[in-house]
Structure 1
Amino acid sequence: TWPGHCKAHELFQAAYKSKPGFLCKLLHGGEDLSPQRDLASLSENLDHLTVVWMSVGVNKTTLQHAHPAFAALKSNGSVITWGDADYGGDSSRAEHGLQEGVVQVVGHGFAFVAIKSDGSVITWGDADAGGDSSHVEHRLREGVVQVAFTSWAFAAVKSDGSVIAWGDAEAGGDSSLVEHRLQEGVVKVVANGWAFAAIKSDGSVITWGDASEGGDSSLVEHRLQEGVVQVVGNDQAFAAIKSDGSVITWGHADYGGDSSHVEHRLQDGVVQLAFTSGAFAAIKSDGSVITWGLAASGGDSSLFQHRLQEGVVQVVGNEGFFAAVKSDGSVITWGDAEANNSDIERQLAEGQVVGNGFAFAAVKSDGSVITWGDADAGGDSSLVEDRLRKGVTQVVVNGSAFAAIKSDGSVITWGETDVGGDSSHVEHRLQDGVVQVVGNGYAFAAIKSDGSVITWGDASKGGDSSLVELGLQEGVIVVVS
């Protein structure tokens, strides 16, 4: 039983304490409760809240700087780090705060942030890029429910709807110009490479950071006052979907901040946005796709427009390419591709399509894998082709290599050898039991079913975890980079 003035965030914190190492959603019927929700506003059936537990992780694209370090979160709420010491591989300065109670870790290319079950935040890594949060430490001692990041800064959303930013001022670490608008009501913060966008509970959006790359939204401010339901960012621009299915863009014009030439097609019906480093793609409810931004990053799909008029169910992007999956299982790719992909597209059935900065891999419905793009970065998988013909359930990427997890828990790698494409020295440990693989820009880390971790790739940037090997023998539930 909870008093009527109690807010949902108190339940979130109680849940975190009961199950360290996991995040959760609170559902009231079909409604996903935000931490700011007053329980008194739930008029009935308050005794029937549903807790949905989620293993924590981070959805990280290749668009920000590749992080040369890893952080492992253990089931006891502790954190172990390795890799480049200057950029978060050495957490000794913050070690006292990382012994217990951590529920999530996020990082950009230069630093890490850990959120604890009491809502406090611990930071380490490059001081100028957010590894040092001492000037806002008093505001980060409780109530933090989300942390977003640009290439050089962090922003934390608190349970009271306020936002705190730190790190490089020009990349969003200084929010003083809009601070009065960030005191309450924020439900989510989204980042691109150099700026932040905060979505408020009334559907309005507030931005800060590098003005030319999305931090200044004054030209479209009148359209961002209400009704925004989603915001996504690429390297230097933002795009927002409104509740009426229209799209608003701002930021660097060349990177998709200017969508005026397709604006008439973005007035309604948009249901999903995808992005590469320099372009956006919108999927409409009729299955058509509209693109804009840098042509070399997929902003120009005119050569394939006749195939993108209907039937598209998903679009994914990497550094420079888009891949659209159609309802019939076919795939269309465009952007900075070096090869003619028509033969590959004809072979593909429904499945997972992933990419690093230079190449794609697709898992077909029969468990086989097809690759294309830059040969050295994983587009050529001929050396392991016989092992990729069946049984693959997932493919993971880093900057220039791929790792495939098979149904028997084994792992196969290919791509640039120095950054993880060659796993021969740990191959005997990757024969079974692997449940997760994570890549940074330079290395891979695999978690096994017994909670142990195996690493390979560039030794100085996370591929060698021998210094913390004892701590990685058991209990690891997630690795982030």
Structure 2
Amino acid sequence: MNQNDHLSPNMATNDSSIKQNLRSGRNNNAGGNTSIISDSEKTVMLLKNGSVISWKKNSDDNQVPPEIAKLQGIVSLSATYLAYAGVRADGSVVAWGKPNSGGLIPPRIAKINNIVSLSSTSDIFTALRADGSIASWGNELNLGLLLPSINGLSLHNIISLNVAYDTFAGLRADGSVVAWGLDSDINFKTAPPEITALQDIVSLKPVNYSFLALRANGSVVAWGNLSPLPPEIAKLQDIVSLYTGFDDFAVLRADHSVVTWGGPPPEIAALKDIVSLSLTVGAFAALRENRSVVAWGTVNYGGQVPPEIAALKDIVSLSSTGSAFAALRENRSVVVWGNIDTGGALPLRIAQLSDITSLSATRRAFAALRADGSVVAWGKPSAGGYVPPEIAKLKDIVGLSTSNYAFAALRADGRRVGWGSGDPKAHGEYD
């Protein structure tokens, strides 16, 4: 799974990202149109009309409260550990779940109607408003620690939010950054002065308890557990892309070489033809200009490419689960390697296909969209690797969305179906 930011619009990459809220096991989204959120036992998904459904392992009950289930017009979802929230088309927000985890919206926030996106920690939601300001609610203890401390910060002109565990970072329109939150010892933290003084930051990426910031001059800075950066990375001024995972990161340079913390193996570091990267929890894979792929890291996480795959020169994109890689070939077939339980072993019926148009991944399973509008999957069945018959027979799927443990498929007429999170049944609009 890879997260990437680019200065160059010419870099072709596949974006299947590791989400940062790993303590809760749910997707910690920092803005964007999130239509599905899941952990290992529960999923929440949007339908065509903007209503919400939910399913849970070993349960037939819809987990959405009736007053929320009847609503329409929800356009994106977010989650803390024990609560969910949704932005509606009119810019308002709704929430449900444990009140002290964000399931109860304070009246002052409930009346807001200019919210554009939501971000979340394990127990706090923060809403980004159209005017560049923010509004937060959730755990009263943590908010009690945060709110007095952030009063002195300038929380305006924010255009995007990112989250690293219990810390928020906002990128402003002027290229500066503001950050606030709690570290692992529940101490209030902000970005250091040398970071907040910058006004040329173009993107932010969270990595574990840290943030990476890509600057307009092609350099990268960091704060949190990753600071200080190794000198060989800190001195660079030709970085075009950042790729981050749970606690690893890599940078792609303008000369198409790659640099990582500790450095890739010498034979990888010497390459000058890398066009994109993908990450598992313990390995990196790089797509080269000649359409071959190389990898390094822990073998059981995909760090060693099998010889028969290493010899290929027709790979067009890479995708990854937490411990396996998949490569889409020019002939529209797919090859895989890595942990066999999380997608690193390809069923024969899928290996024989030659009409796959795109790949998607949860933490432990892959799904492939075919040219005929159908979908196939493999990997951990409970994480989406098993497609229910009601969905497998569909021929009008035009796109896939992913979460940690479940997939959602968008149909040509706008309806949506979903599967995963330990439940073998089909959900959504599949009739």
CA distance 1:283–1:451, shift in 2 (3 Å):
same
Q: Which residue of 2 aligns with 1:146?
A: 117
Do the aligned partners of 1:250 and 1:258 also contact (CA within 8 Å) in 2? yes
Task: Note closer, same or farther for the CA distance 1:251–1:232 as it changes in structure 2 (3 Å cut).
Answer: same
Q: 2:362 aligns with which of 389, 398, 419?
A: 398
The answer for unaligned runs of 5 or more in structure 2 is 1-14, 27-37
Higher relative contact order (CA 8 A, sep 6+): 2
Counterpart in the other structure of 2:283 = 321
Please state how far the C-alpha of 1:93 moved relative to its aligned partner.
5.6
Give 3-state SS (helix, strand or coil) of 1:181's partner. coil
Change (3 A) 1:170 1:283: farther
Give yes or no for the alignment of 1:262 onto 2:227. no
| Aligned partner of residue 333 in structure 1, secondary structure | strand
Taking the aligned partners of 2:159 and 2:194, their CA distance within structure 1 comes to 19
SS in 2 for 1:404: strand
Q: Secondary structure at the match of 2:199?
A: coil
Which consecutive unaligned segments of at least 5 residues does structure 1 have?
1-57, 293-298, 475-481
Q: What is the deviation of 1:99?
A: 1.9
In structure 1, distance between residues paired with 2:94 and 2:282: 34
Q: 1:275 to 1:386 in 2, by over 3 A?
A: closer
CA 1:189–1:110 in structure 2 vs 1: closer, same or farther (change >3 Å)? same
Offset of residue 191 of structure 1: 1.4
Q: Is the 8 A contact 1:405 1:412 kept in 2?
A: yes
Q: Distance in 2 between matches of 1:304 and 1:165?
A: 48
What amino acid maps onto 1:354 in structure 2?
S
Cross-structure match for 1:207: 179
Indicate the SS of the match to 1:464.
Answer: strand
Identify the range of structure 1 (278-287 vs 434-443) with the bigger mean alpha-carbon deviation.
434-443
SS in 2 for 1:216: strand
Partner of 1:354: 319
The equivalent residue for 1:438 is 401
SS class of match (2:425): coil
SS at match of 2:311: helix
**Alignment-derived partner of residue 271 in structure 1:** 240
Deviates more, 1:365-374 or 1:126-135: 126-135
Q: Does structure 2 conserve the Cα–Cα contact (< 8 Å) formed by 1:209 and 1:215?
A: yes
Please state how far the C-alpha of 1:199 moved relative to its aligned partner. Answer: 1.2
Q: 1:384 aligns with which of 327, 332, 349?
A: 349
How many residue pairs match? The answer is: 395
TM-score, normalised on structure 2? 0.80
Specify whether residues 303 and 89 from structure 1 end up closer, same or farther in structure 2 by C-alpha distance, changes over 3 A only: farther
Asked whether 1:244 is paired with 2:205, we answer no
Residue type of the partner of 1:160?
D
Secondary structure, aligned partner of 2:241: strand
Output the CA distance in 2 between the equivalents of 1:74 and 1:175. 35
Q: What is the match of residue 216 of structure 1? A: 189
1:47 match:
none
Closer/same/farther in 2, CA of residues 109 and 242 from structure 1, 3 Å limit: same
The answer to whether the 8 A contact 1:172-1:196 is kept is: no
How far is the alpha carbon of 1:62 from its aligned partner?
Answer: 4.1
Q: CA contact under 8 A between 2:343 and 2:378: conserved in structure 1?
A: yes
Label 1:197 to 1:118 Cα distance change in 2 as closer, same or farther (>3 A).
Answer: same
Inter-CA distance 370–163: structure 2 relative to 1 (3 Å threshold)? same
Match of 1:106 among 52, 62, 78: 78
Aligned counterparts of 1:166 and 1:348: Cα–Cα separation in 2? 51
**C-alpha distance in structure 1 between counterparts of 2:295 and 2:145, whole Å:** 36
CA distance in 1 between partners of 2:17 and 2:99 (Å): 21
Distance 2:18 2:364 in 1: 13
Kept after mapping to 2: 8 A contact 1:109/1:151 = yes
Tell me the residue number matched to 2:292.
330
Separation in 2, partners of 1:458, 1:117: 27
Residues in 1 aligned to 2:181 and 2:114: alpha-carbon distance in whole angstroms: 24
How far the C-alpha of 1:380 sits from its partner, in A, is 0.8
- How far apart in 2 are the matches of 1:307 and 1:431? 46
Question: How many Å apart are 1:217 and its aligned residue?
Answer: 4.5
User: 1:280 aligned to 237, 241, 249, which one?
Assistant: 249
Which range moves more in the overlay, 170-179 or 109-118? 170-179
> TM-score, normalised on structure 1?
0.72
SS of aligned partner of 1:384: helix
Larger Rg: 1
Structure 2 match to 1:124: 96
The aligned amino acid for 2:410 is I
